[in-house]
Amino acid sequence: MKIFTFHKKNRYVVFAAVLMVSIVIMMVIANIESMLQAKVNHSNAMQVATMSVADPLIPASSPDFFIEYRLERDKIRSERSDLLRESIKNAKTDDSRNQAQDTVLKMIAEKQKEAEMESLIKSRGFTDALVFVRENSVSAVIKTTSLSHEEVIQIADVITRISGVKAENISISAKP
């Protein structure tokens, strides 16, 4: 008993459809790669040492990158905090409650470190700064058209002292 048979004409139609979908997917991937390459080419990024850390999601067209990103970061943290508080409130075991509480405390500590580093960087004469603390790395975006080697070293020193992260795990870039 044949459940599904392809006629010769249907095979060509299916093949053409699969080929078109494949081409569209390749075009989308090529477009994404070109956008990423353009981002790299137009960046004034200076890195203390080599590092490959995924960039956080950044609103593409905002009037003030620094203000918009802070608002988005605070919104995401607030949502995450609400979820963790619910987890603490509804935890079935002490272990899961303690784990959620530890996550909240870690999030608060990261926020404090970021704020302290941003303030200290701004006290060095920069208009604005964003700092992103991750487990073993820190990224900083400084509001300026370019950074000298000495400025990069000063910023890296502030970040190292506050976060305890080694210089090779710090990424610093300039954004006008």
Q: pLDDT averaged over the chain?
A: 76
Give every CB contact of residue 72 below 8 A, 6+ residues apart in sequence: 57, 59
Where would I find the H helices in the chain? 8-41, 65-90, 94-123, 149-163
Residue 42's pLDDT is 37
Strand partners, 130: 141
- As a dihedral over the C-alpha atoms of residue 82, residue 88, residue 91, residue 96, rounded to 10 degrees, the angle is 110
In which order are the strands placed within the sheet that holds 129-133?
44-47, 170-175, 138-143, 129-133
Residue 10's pLDDT is 54
Q: Which phi and psi (to 5°) does residue 108 adopt?
A: -65, -40
Q: Where are the domains of the chain?
A: 65-174
pLDDT tens, residue order, the chain (176 aa): 544 454 555 555 444 444 444 444 444 444 444 444 433 333 334 444 433 334 444 444 446 889 999 999 999 999 999 999 998 998 889 998 899 999 999 999 999 999 999 999 999 999 999 999 988 999 999 999 999 999 999 999 999 999 999 999 999 999 98
CATH superfamily of 65-174: Stage III sporulation protein AH-like (1.10.287.4300)
164: alpha, beta or left, given left = phi > 0 and alpha = psi -120 to 50?
Answer: left
Residue 36's pLDDT is 42
Residue 91's pLDDT is 87
